[in-house]
Structure 1
Amino acid sequence: MNRNRTSLGLAAAFAIMATCRIMLIFFGRLEAGLVADDTYYYFTIAKNLAAGNGPTFDGLAPTNGFHPLWQLYMVPFFINAGDLWSPVRTILASTIILDGISGLLVHRIVGRFAGGGYALTAAALWWLTPFGFFLGMQGMEASLSTLLVLGALERGCAANASLRSAAGVGVVLGLGGLARTDNLLSVSLAMAVLVFATKSLWPSIESRLRWLGVAAALALAVMAPWFIWSWRQFGSVVQVSARVKLYSEDVYGALHTSWGSVSESTETIVFALFPAAATAVRALTGDEFREPTWSILITAVILLSAVPLLIWSLRRTLAKRTELRAPILFVLTYMLLHTALFGLIGRTYATWYALPFFGLTTVLVGWLAPAWRRATGTGLIFVRAGVVLWLAALLAIYPLYALRFPHGDQRPDDRFAPHFERVQELLPAGAVVGAWDAGVAGYVATDYETITVTNLDCLVNNVAFEAVRGGRYRQYLLQTVDLYLQDQARARMFLDAREVQLLKDGDAGP
């Protein structure tokens, strides 16, 4: 494709995405809907870091319940911030730039092995289909994580046998781990598979191991300050947010397992094997907190049309394009590890986890598209039908998001103002307010000098989690919390019925 036409196409696709997202961010109600409650943990910790209070959500104790690179990325936006919402909207707007760079990486990676038209189509898919469009606007680490996952793939495809090349890849792997810790495992193993599959650059096992050793050493060196601080402060290199999700199935994101009926068993299997598609579609169609309807149909159409099509295309492409073998193995390794880690082992999946998965899926689509075109030219009906159904299902998410997603009718500060004003009346000297979904409430509370909101589901509360592990959670609540924003029955995620009743009675005994 002509370079000028390619540049014009990229600019047009990016401009459409950027304009629509800017309109939603600055003139919509993202803060009352799409932005995740967990994002406000990041906002509040960033605000405390900018004020010199350290990495704390509630100001009572430090926490490691965040991914450090995304957390540090936010801090400058809160320096001399004049109000609650200017830094929030600016951070969300900055994800447009991050996702824009990711789109350029998609274009570059696809263009290395396919024509410019396929590369342009892949970049446009990334920017304009619902997953790429919406998930970054939730405000979590997904946009930065995706950029670095794609960056690792791009560096892997461009790598040579020199140790300098290995060092560069290692730095990208380390930054990817700081952006989202599980990337250190999944992307590093995917890179190892790519290296071992590229025999033309590394003729011997020793040369491959030496190259990977340098990359691993640099990646660990980049991650080391975070691991050392976390271990010295909390006795674990794993974030408390991850530890509590493994501890309790009642924390947000848990994939509940049920084999009671055919429909429940099917749902359990689908969310275990295809957590990225199932979770993202469920959330963006408005089904996350209600009885699922449209999300079941759209997920079924996506999977039934895309999975057979991808398998067929992979077989044809790998048979004819041997140079794509190693890059495709990188993508498939990441996808399998991602699915195993969250869908099968951890059994927890939040919507934004899907963005890097979708980024790599877009790359895979760009690589496999030539096989579709060749087949379509010969009139292969199932290829045409599969592509049409897959795109139709993706685009159907947009009207469902507009009509069914719980966008909210109040800004969070307006919603919580009556509660916090009542707290000030009851406890004018100051109060610690407890909440299980504490992100938004905690961020709004930073505008109230006498109110501290603490997180009780332990996502950003290491002290509470240690109390849970030590069997002292009820005593911790009674000693720490003055008032609750939610029903104390929410404590049942860590307490049995007897202890919940003792908590309500104010009994601190054994």
Structure 2
Amino acid sequence: MSVENAALSQTLTGEKTPTKAGRAPIWLWGGVVMAFLARLAIAWSPVKISFALSVPDDAYYYFTIARNIAAGVGVSFDGLAPTNGFHPLWMLVNTLVWRLVGASQTLPVHIALTVGAIFDLVTMAGIWRLASALTRRSYLAGIAVLVYAWNPYNLAASVNGLETSLGAMLFVWSLVVYWRLRLASRVTWQSWLTIGGLWSLLLLARTDYLIIIFPCAIDLVWRQRRDLGQIWAATLGALVWLPWLAWNKVTFGSFSQVSGKAYPYYLQTLWQAEGHTFQQWLVQEARMAYGILANLAVLSGFGKVIILLALVSAALLLAAWASRGRTSTGCQSDWSQLSGLLWPTLGALALLMIHGLIRWMYIPWYFVPMSILTVLWFSAFLSWLDSKRRTWAQALGVVVILLQVGQVATVLQKGGMWPEQASTVDSFMASVSCEKEETIGISDSGYYGYYLPCRVVNLDGVVNNQAFLAIKERRFRRYLDEIGLNKVYLNDIIASVVTLNEGAVPLAPPYSTEH
């Protein structure tokens, strides 16, 4: 066993001889198989059903762009202009799917969702690895995996058609390597190359995960500060990210994606136009902060109990810090391990704060890293409880798993994650008519762009750099004239911003607005 692997396997009790948590118990295999089958059931359900259960409209931006790339149309949603409104690694996966089976309209969608489910299975394996290192108990690691697997929001996120499951998989396995390297007595250049490459792939999966990587990278460099002779290899690994950045800069004049800029600009433009005071801004920030906490409570699957879990986790962390350097007894977590949870947790919280307090947006899949970390903190708490009252730890673990399964039933009773979205789309699809040779413009246009027979231009700018710039530069009407649309359908936010910027909604015959 290498020095690095031995470091990861070191027990949380301060033992110097690595031990194994043991094989995965049979009940864990059964629970994981059933969770995977639940994901496959969604992935292979009719597309209208999966659209209500788990797949947001944004997923169809990926599907449409991937279909166009595979068909040789270019990196474009509408076939008229290029876009960077996506995360490239998941787009690459989708493009391969559409390249293979793109002759069918719905089969690629099912396969893309299935790939997401498989990625989530690999994520569960990574959680098992991390929880085993934290707890040194097979049953505790198994509980952590099942709490994650049966959380209805994690289940839905894994088959949402977005980059979420790919990002979660790379996040978890980069944590595995990060934990191994931070505890190693010496890090080889191959290991630096590995972590640099993994983090680079993680950024290609979701650019904003840079916020999570940053504190982890600082921590890793600090812990290995006496032996940084091979760190140059991490820079080589990071080169994987550079072609994407270069293409963005050359093509669009910016390193960042338009999908991350459009709606924050609209929301803040409307807010500023209303002339709010500083006090009102503070109230708005407080509301957003509360919204982040409330959503974290729900999406983590722990509800209001997450506050208690946070307090207990903080207590465990402080106790581990106070006793650092001593040899402990029992099976409680030590500082070297819990601090490895601390830094990504701070990064994941910063991610939510930046999205919520600065961009004024928080969407369910933003919470997935924090949901994973919450499960790991829960396993650390169970490890402590196991050292005091094993039966209590076992009972609590079973109760939490059952509560997660119960929440799956609750979400299904409500019609899934996006029932209103599915209802709106059904109504619109029944009312709109367009011929193949026509070009229409729609905001929130993912599903329509994929299934309508005519060309659909995205008008909210999420996957249309030109439309976003036209709105921002107050020349939206001219942009509509240039591309020659037959019909225009705008949501209230876009219509309000355009009205504010250009004096009136710039839609007159031959255009119509009905959305």
Structure 2 CA distance, aligned partners of 1:74 and 1:318? 45
Q: Relative to 1, partners in 2 of residues 1:368 and 1:437: Cα closer, same or farther, differing over 3 Å?
A: same
Q: Which amino acid aligns with 1:169?
A: I
Identity among equivalent positions (%) equals 24
Q: Relative to 1, partners in 2 of residues 1:203 and 1:456: Cα closer, same or farther, differing over 3 Å?
A: closer
2:386 matches 1:366: no
Q: CA deviation at 1:319?
A: 4.3
Q: CA deviation at 1:310?
A: 2.6
Structure 2 CA distance, aligned partners of 1:416 and 1:9? 46
Q: CA deviation at 1:486?
A: 3.0
Q: CA deviation at 1:475?
A: 2.1
> Which residues in structure 2 correspond to 1:87-102 (within 5 Å)?
87-102=108-123
Q: CA deviation at 1:398?
A: 2.2
Q: Which residue of 2 aligns with 1:35?
A: 55
Structure 2 CA distance, aligned partners of 1:214 and 1:250? 41
Please say if residues 192 and 212 of structure 1, whose CA atoms lie closer than 8 Å, have aligned partners that are also in contact: no
Q: Which amino acid aligns with 1:467?
A: A
Give the TM-score, by structure 1 length.
0.80
2:296 matches 1:277: yes
Q: Which residue of 2 aligns with 1:404?
A: 414
2:72 to 52, 62, 85: 52
Q: CA deviation at 1:491?
A: 3.0
> Which residues in structure 2 correspond to 1:175-194 (within 5 Å)?
175-194=201-220
Please say if residues 432 and 483 of structure 1, whose CA atoms lie closer than 8 Å, have aligned partners that are also in contact: yes
Q: Deviations over 1:268-302 (max 9, x none)?
A: 33124x37516748xx9xxxxxxxxxxxxx84x24
Q: CA deviation at 1:402?
A: 1.6
Q: Deviations over 1:19-46 (max 9, x none)?
A: 1222233236113442010000000000
Q: Deviations over 1:226-272 (max 9, x none)?
A: 01111100000100011213312189xxxxx9987999886433124
Q: Which amino acid aligns with 2:476?
A: Y
Q: Which amino acid aligns with 2:219?
A: V
Please say if residues 55 and 159 of structure 2, whose CA atoms lie closer than 8 Å, have aligned partners that are also in contact: yes
Superposition RMSD on alpha carbons, in Å?
3.7
2:238 matches 1:220: yes
Q: Which amino acid aligns with 2:480?
A: L
Structure 1 CA distance, aligned partners of 2:236 and 2:139? 36
Q: CA deviation at 1:313?
A: 3.2
Aligned residues: 467
> Which residues in structure 2 correspond to 1:24-173 (within 5 Å)?
24-27=42-45, 29-79=49-99, 80-115=101-136, 116-159=138-181, 160=184, 161-173=187-199
Structure 1: tracts of 5 or more residues without a match: 252-256, 285-297
Q: Which residue of 2 aligns with 1:292?
A: none
Q: Which residue of 2 aligns with 1:6?
A: 24
Q: Which amino acid aligns with 1:347?
A: W
Structure 2: tracts of 5 or more residues without a match: 1-18, 270-275, 324-333
Q: Which residue of 2 aligns with 1:238?
A: 256
Give the TM-score, by structure 2 length.
0.80
Q: CA deviation at 1:504?
A: 2.9
Q: Which residue of 2 aligns with 1:289?
A: none
Structure 2 CA distance, aligned partners of 1:279 and 1:18? 22
Structure 1 CA distance, aligned partners of 2:468 and 2:73? 21
Deviates more, 1:93-102 or 1:488-497: 488-497
Q: Which residue of 2 aligns with 1:294?
A: none
Q: Which residue of 2 aligns with 1:311?
A: 314
Please say if residues 433 and 454 of structure 1, whose CA atoms lie closer than 8 Å, have aligned partners that are also in contact: yes
Q: Relative to 1, partners in 2 of residues 1:211 and 1:184: Cα closer, same or farther, differing over 3 Å?
A: farther
Please say if residues 299 and 364 of structure 2, whose CA atoms lie closer than 8 Å, have aligned partners that are also in contact: yes
- Match of 2:506, SS? helix
Please say if residues 58 and 453 of structure 1, whose CA atoms lie closer than 8 Å, have aligned partners that are also in contact: yes
Deviates more, 1:477-486 or 1:220-229: 477-486
Q: Relative to 1, partners in 2 of residues 1:37 and 1:250: Cα closer, same or farther, differing over 3 Å?
A: farther
Structure 2 CA distance, aligned partners of 1:433 and 1:460? 15
- Match of 2:73, SS? coil
> Which residues in structure 2 correspond to 1:300-449 (within 5 Å)?
301-320=304-323, 321-376=334-389, 394-405=404-415, 406-407=418-419, 418-419=430-431, 422-424=433-435, 430-445=437-452, 448=453
Q: Which residue of 2 aligns with 1:295?
A: none
Q: CA deviation at 1:490?
A: 4.8
- Match of 2:104, SS? coil
Structure 1 CA distance, aligned partners of 2:20 and 2:335? 26
Please say if residues 279 and 351 of structure 1, whose CA atoms lie closer than 8 Å, have aligned partners that are also in contact: no
Please say if residues 149 and 187 of structure 1, whose CA atoms lie closer than 8 Å, have aligned partners that are also in contact: no
2:485 matches 1:482: yes
Q: Relative to 1, partners in 2 of residues 1:180 and 1:279: Cα closer, same or farther, differing over 3 Å?
A: farther
- Match of 2:24, SS? helix
Q: Which residue of 1 aligns with 2:10?
A: none
Structure 1 CA distance, aligned partners of 2:441 and 2:283? 37
Q: Which amino acid aligns with 2:445?
A: A
Deviates more, 1:433-442 or 1:467-476: 467-476
Q: Which amino acid aligns with 2:116?
A: T
- Match of 1:453, SS? strand
2:506 to 498, 503, 507: 503
Q: Relative to 1, partners in 2 of residues 1:23 and 1:411: Cα closer, same or farther, differing over 3 Å?
A: farther
Q: Which amino acid aligns with 1:174?
A: S
- Match of 1:218, SS? helix
